Amino acid sequence: MPDATLTALILTPLAGGFAAWLAARQRAAAARWIALAAALATFGLALLTWAAVGAEAASIAAPVLQQRLPWIPRYGIEYHLALDGLSLLFVVLTGLLGCIAVLMSWREIERSEGLHYLCLLATVAGIMGVFLAFDLFLFYFFWELMLVPMYFLIGVWGHEGRVRAAIKFVIFTMISGLFLLASIIGLYWAHARATGQLTTDYVELLGTSLPPEVGGWLFVGFLVAFAVKLPVFPLHSWLPDAHTQAPTAGSILLAGLLLKTGGYALIRFAVPLFPEAAASLSGPIAVVGVIGIIYGAVLAYGQTDMKRLIAYTSVSHMGFVVLGVASWQLVAVQGAVLQMLAHGLATGALFAIAGMVDARFHSRELAALGGLWARLPRLSGFALLFILASVGVPGMGNFIGELLTLLGAWAVTPALVAVAAGGLVAGTVAMLRLMQRAFHGTAAATRPLADIADIGGREILVLAALAALVIALGMFPQPALRSAEPALEQLVAREVVYDPADPQLDPRRTRLTAAAGPELPR
Amino acid sequence: MNTTDLLGLSPLIIPALAGILVMLAGAFRARPAVLHALTIGGIGLALLSIPLGRSLAPRDLTPLLRLDAYALLFLSLLYATLGILAILARPYLQARRRQGEAFPALLLFAGTGMGVMACSNHFASFFLGLETLTVALYVLLGYLRDDRRSLEAAVKYLILAALASGFLLFGIALVYAATGTLVLDAAARAAAALLQEGPAAEASWAVAGMLMLMVGFGFKLALVPFHMWSPDVYQGAPAPVTALIATGSKGAVVAVLLRVLAPDIAGAGRLAPLLAGLAIVTMFAGNLLALLQTDVKRLLAYSSIAHIGYVFVALAAGGAGGGRAVVFYMLIYLATTLGAFGIVSVLSAEGDADADDLGAYRGLGRRRPALAATMTVMLLSLAGVPPTGGFLAKFAVLDVAIGAGRWTLALAMVIASGIGLYYYLRVLVVMYMGDEEGIPTMPSPAAAPLGSSLALGVLVVAVLAIGLYPEPWLRAAGAAVSAVLGG
């Protein structure tokens, strides 16, 4: 498998987006097909990568696939993409949900279709870049890049309160992003002072020894940015608005992928780069994670808007990821990764279902629904499946994720784990309320009784694919666990360094040092 | 003075000659197309003569002017700006039936003034260049003489520019009294040495002189608290002239400012606290006041105030890196601001009044997708979002601030630009996210004039190219700055 595949994973959706945009000027339908083709090609590429790479255990410092080219040598910045087992899982998820998002936009988007697919696929490309970047500057580049098209997705094609939600989303994520940028530059200079070498390379920076106070502040900068994305409890307030107001495809990308970039970045960057700071703050982080679990579940129970309810359960589920990362035990972190994958599939599916309901009844209010099972048995069946998956019923991926997280964290914070397990019950109640109010019971009187069809071929395809994967992840979690294990093991054990004898690295090092000479500050 | 010197001076002589030629042609009632061709030709020739100067640099042309890599970089930037402005101004003037010879001639004279400032190595040539530029601007600002707001802008600018000139002259006199020389680099070096450890009396002359100079520069760059004039003038002026004040005029002033501050920045950094204070006040005031605007020209005026604040962050951080960040930032600032005002210009050329109300941009994404996309790129660059050049510019400034350990400044910049996001997003909201019914049904021609489209296209490509591959531009900025700061 050539290393350039990594660039292709980013460029395929981007190019497809532009092609769809141009094609839409002639025929709107062409835009859809081109977008679908691009999304499928991206997914196919991701699967091929899985097939080629999946079995090989590789170290982070020498990943199976990597591409590094000088980009801005003056700052020691490289175009460095790499794929290890951890990235691989998220790359595949991104490819899959990209296809789902395109399929769910098929009928829903009625104006500026070309621009819609451009924004959608550009978001996918940006997310792909986040999961592949091995250079902190490049990572930040993609991190911000994915926000702009997402802003347009929410703001242009969203529901009634879209503008406010879109602005809130961007303000939260971009301001926290600026702190991340400042922290990245701070780390870069700290590393340069310690080693005389200017670089933003991830593996090089991993070993930076920092004075505790400096490390603490820089870690907080990283943490704020990732915590807003994830989201962690006090920084979550953009999420319910954005998820509720976004079009279906936007909600799927937000819940399925964007939140995962936050969790991935915590595991990949924040904790490994600042291990001491992370260890000293792990207590408070675990506490806010558990608060998030309970808070999200309790607020979800109170919601009357279907999408808002699902959005709040996301806050709750992401709390487990925070708890797992805070404990920094191999098993718990594995659980967090699995939880993110399973949540991406199940919640993506739930938002797709909400979109299907909205397309039929023009309402997401629970009060206006009810008794859907009688009329739409197929849709309701899938809804039950994904709701059960989401509350963590054994046999489905979320169960494994939550179980491993709790098991792993038990070794560190048994008390918090007990509380978190209690939070599971609250989440279950909220989700079952959704099932009961919308799909069981009697039909609301206000519901239009015109002939409303059950889901058709395209919608069944989407839901069946997701259902198969959620169950597969629950029954056979081993391939996913094994894929991420080597990378996670090294991160948890802090054993990532470039082999000094690696011939690939030597010339670059000297060149950088030479360039850095006069640059170092007084 | 010999032939080689004359050759080196050609980037300054050509626009002046072209200006005279345009006036003469006007006297013989040449058609507007001919005048336009002469203008563009003059600017193009001036740009072409810059590589000629490159083979001579570095070289002192008379004691007044210095041709070095720094001057040449600013000359290219300023003339490119001027050329794009001339192209954008034409349809604007056509729509207002004011296609005389005066506008292009004045534009060329303003260009000459900016060119002299970029090359000046003497307070006398600096002041001459500045006044050439400023006098041309007085007339350009009031060019729509039937428009009350245009005249108001001209008078406001006249009074405040005169005040600024007064401060500058006083400052020059004091620096001369302290250092005994008017040659820019020598005077700046001596003043910096005096600031660091000089005999008390002379040091206080130098301090007073530098402060006066900073006030003068502050007025010209619209630093807070000397910014009061700028939103009114930006709003009232004809759109292409607004663009000129926001880009070329500020660019030329920064070119001189960096030469004046260079010894202090590269050395002791005695002025750093002053620069840092100005930077913080300017960033916050610019961004906070921009939040309240519903007029696009005023909004961009406050935005450009804030951006000069970011430039001052790099100045305050100092060192060769700081200088490089200043030049790199200005490069991107010029392209981006020119692009944003270019859109205002193009839209203004389609109606009787300038398109300055936000309402004129409602639904632009649907009505004029290409214009809206261009504006989006410019706004994202102003907001500092990848993959635009504005992001790299912001990165470069933050990098020197943090590298110099100036965390307060860096965090102030982070917070201020966070505030700034909001008003850039608001314009995007108006362009793309409005409701269907609110879209004004103004007569929209199928496309912008070819020249304007090309000019804007070049700017979009430049802004994205710098964002995606900044290395050559960083290298150019670094080479230019090392001519002034050394190292």
Pick from A185, A187, A189, A199 the residue to mutate for testing the B interface (most B CBs within 10 Å). Answer: A185
| pLDDT over threshold 90, residue A2 | no
What's the pLDDT score for residue A510? 36
Averaged over B428-457, what is the pLDDT? 76
What's the pLDDT score for residue A513? 42
**Contact assignment for A175 to B421 by CB distance below 8 Å:** yes
What's the pLDDT score for residue A98? 95
How far does A376 lie from chain B, in Å, by closest CA?
A: 33
Q: What is the mean pLDDT of chain A?
A: 88
Asked if A185 has any chain B CB less than 8 Å from its own CB, the reply is yes
| pLDDT over threshold 50, residue A508 | no
Averaged over A290-295, what is the pLDDT? 93
How far does B427 lie from chain A, in Å, by closest CA?
A: 11
User: Which of A75, A152, A178 comes nearest B399 by C-beta?
Assistant: A75
| pLDDT over threshold 60, residue A12 | yes
Nearest residue of chain B to residue A111 (CA atoms)? B366
User: Which of A112, A137, A148 comes nearest B385 by C-beta?
Assistant: A148
**Contact assignment for A522 to B385 by CB distance below 8 Å:** no
Q: How wide is the angle at C-alpha B275 spanned by C-alphas B272 and B276, nearest 5°?
A: 85
| Chain B residues with CB within 8 Å of chain A CB | 319-321, 365-366, 369, 380, 385-387, 391, 395, 398-399, 402-405, 407, 410-411, 414-415, 417-418, 421-422, 425-426, 428-429, 432-433, 469-471, 474-475, 478, 487
How far does A408 lie from chain B, in Å, by closest CA?
A: 37
CA neighbours within 13 Å on the CB side: how many for A217? 12
Q: Would you give the DSSP letter of residue B269? A: -
Name every chain A residue with its beta carbon within 8 A of the beta carbon of B425: 151, 167, 170-171
Q: Would you give the DSSP letter of residue B65? A: E
Name every chain A residue with its beta carbon within 8 A of the beta carbon of B418: 171, 174-175, 178
What phi, psi does B61 have (nearest 5°)? -100, 105
pLDDT per residue as tens digits for the range A466-489 = 999 999 999 999 988 988 888 898
Asked if A146 has any chain B CB less than 8 Å from its own CB, the reply is no
Averaged over A431-437, what is the pLDDT? 89
Asked if A155 has any chain B CB less than 8 Å from its own CB, the reply is yes
Name every chain B residue with its beta carbon within 8 A of the beta carbon of A152: 432
What's the pLDDT score for residue A109? 83
**Contact assignment for A185 to B395 by CB distance below 8 Å:** yes
| pLDDT over threshold 90, residue B85 | yes
Q: Between residues B443 and A183, which one has the greater pLDDT?
A: A183
Instruction: Yes or no: say if B65 and B121 are a contact pair by the CB < 8 Å rule.
Output: yes
Label residue B440 by pLDDT band (50, 70, 90): low
How far does B210 lie from chain A, in Å, by closest CA?
A: 25
Q: What is the mean pLDDT of chain B?
A: 91
- Report which secondary-structure segment, H or E, holds A78: strand A77-83
What's the pLDDT score for residue A146? 92
Closest CA to A226 of A167, A194, A179: A179
Pick from B395, B423, B469, B474 the residue to mutate for testing the A interface (most A CBs within 10 Å). Answer: B395
**Contact assignment for A189 to B402 by CB distance below 8 Å:** yes
Name every chain B residue with its beta carbon within 8 A of the beta carbon of A141: 386-387, 391
What's the pLDDT score for residue A359? 87
Look up residue A257 and give its amino acid: L
Q: Between residues B169 and A372, which one has the greater pLDDT?
A: B169
Averaged over A425-436, what is the pLDDT? 90
Q: Calculate helix-pair angle for A414-434, A377-391, nearest 10 degrees.
A: 170
| Inter-chain contacts counted by CB atoms under 8 A, chains A and B | 95
What's the pLDDT score for residue A309? 93
The count of other CB atoms within 10 Å of the CB of residue B447 is 11
How far does B209 lie from chain A, in Å, by closest CA?
A: 28
**Contact assignment for A522 to B319 by CB distance below 8 Å:** yes
Averaged over B301-305, what is the pLDDT? 94
What's the pLDDT score for residue B243? 95
How far does B471 lie from chain A, in Å, by closest CA?
A: 5
The secondary structure of A426-463 as a DSSP string is HHHHHHHHHIIIIISSPPPTTS--S--PPP-HHHHHHH
Q: Provide the H-helix boundaries in B68-147.
A: 69-95, 102-119, 123-141
**Contact assignment for A141 to B387 by CB distance below 8 Å:** yes
**N-terminal to C-terminal alpha carbon distance within chain A:** 46
Nearest residue of chain B to residue A148 (CA atoms)? B385
What's the pLDDT score for residue A58? 65
Instruction: Yes or no: say if A274 and A215 are a contact pair by the CB < 8 Å rule.
Output: yes
The Cα B408–Cα A58 span in angstroms is: 42
Residues contacting B60, CB < 8 A, separation 6+: B66, B67, B121
What's the pLDDT score for residue A339? 94
Closest CA to A100 of A92, A112, A111: A92
**N-terminal to C-terminal alpha carbon distance within chain B:** 30
pLDDT per residue as tens digits for the range A378-422 = 999 999 999 999 998 898 989 999 999 999 999 988 999 999 998
What's the pLDDT score for residue A368? 80
Q: Calculate helix-pair angle for B319-348, B389-403, nearest 10 degrees.
A: 150
Name every chain B residue with its beta carbon within 8 A of the beta carbon of A155: 428-429, 432-433
| pLDDT over threshold 80, residue B487 | no
Name every chain B residue with its beta carbon within 8 A of the beta carbon of A189: 402-403
Query: A residues 192-211 near B, CB within 8 Å?
Result: 192
Nearest residue of chain A to residue B380 (CA atoms)? A148
Name every chain B residue with its beta carbon within 8 A of the beta carbon of A170: 421, 425
Highest mean pLDDT among A432-441, A501-510, B191-200, B378-387: B378-387
How far does B181 lie from chain A, in Å, by closest CA?
A: 30
Instruction: Yes or no: say if A318 and A377 are a contact pair by the CB < 8 Å rule.
Output: no
pLDDT per residue as tens digits for the range B265-286 = 888 788 899 999 999 999 999 9
**Contact assignment for A178 to B418 by CB distance below 8 Å:** yes
What's the pLDDT score for residue A506? 42
Name every chain B residue with its beta carbon within 8 A of the beta carbon of A145: 385-387
pLDDT per residue as tens digits for the range A88-106 = 999 999 999 999 999 999 8
The Cα B443–Cα B176 span in angstroms is: 58
User: Which of B415, B428, B433 comes nearest A162 by C-beta?
Assistant: B433
Pick from B382, B402, B409 the residue to mutate for testing the A interface (most A CBs within 10 Å). Answer: B402
Label residue B139 by pLDDT band (50, 70, 90): very high
Q: How wide is the angle at C-alpha A103 spanned by C-alphas A101 and A105, nearest 5°?
A: 70
**Contact assignment for A73 to B471 by CB distance below 8 Å:** yes
How far does A178 lie from chain B, in Å, by closest CA?
A: 6
**Contact assignment for B421 to A145 by CB distance below 8 Å:** no
How far does B470 lie from chain A, in Å, by closest CA?
A: 7
pLDDT per residue as tens digits for the range A201-222 = 998 898 888 888 889 999 999 9
Q: Between residues B60 and B330, which one has the greater pLDDT?
A: B330
- Token pair belonging to A94: 């991104």
Q: How many domains does chain B have?
A: 1
| pLDDT over threshold 90, residue B70 | yes
Asked if A71 has any chain B CB less than 8 Å from its own CB, the reply is yes
**Contact assignment for B433 to A156 by CB distance below 8 Å:** yes
**Contact assignment for B319 to A186 by CB distance below 8 Å:** no
| pLDDT over threshold 50, residue A507 | no
Name every chain A residue with its beta carbon within 8 A of the beta carbon of B410: 182, 185
Q: Would you give the DSSP letter of residue A66? A: E
Averaged over A256-272, what is the pLDDT? 94
| pLDDT over threshold 70, residue A444 | no
What's the pLDDT score for residue A520? 47
Highest mean pLDDT among A16-30, A504-518, B49-63, B197-211: A16-30
Q: Is A442 exposed, middle or buried (0-12, 13-18, 19+ CB in 10 A)?
A: exposed
The residues that bridge with A77 in the sheet, in sequence order, are A72
The Cα B15–Cα B177 span in angstroms is: 35
Closest CA to B185 of B255, B116, B268, B261: B261
Instruction: Yes or no: say if B342 and B459 are a contact pair by the CB < 8 Å rule.
Output: yes
| pLDDT over threshold 50, residue A514 | no
The residue range of the domain holding B145 is: 3-485
Asked if A52 has any chain B CB less than 8 Å from its own CB, the reply is no
User: Which of A155, A166, A185 comes nearest B399 by C-beta?
Assistant: A185
Label residue B295 by pLDDT band (50, 70, 90): very high
Averaged over A65-77, what is the pLDDT? 89
Averaged over A310-336, what is the pLDDT? 93
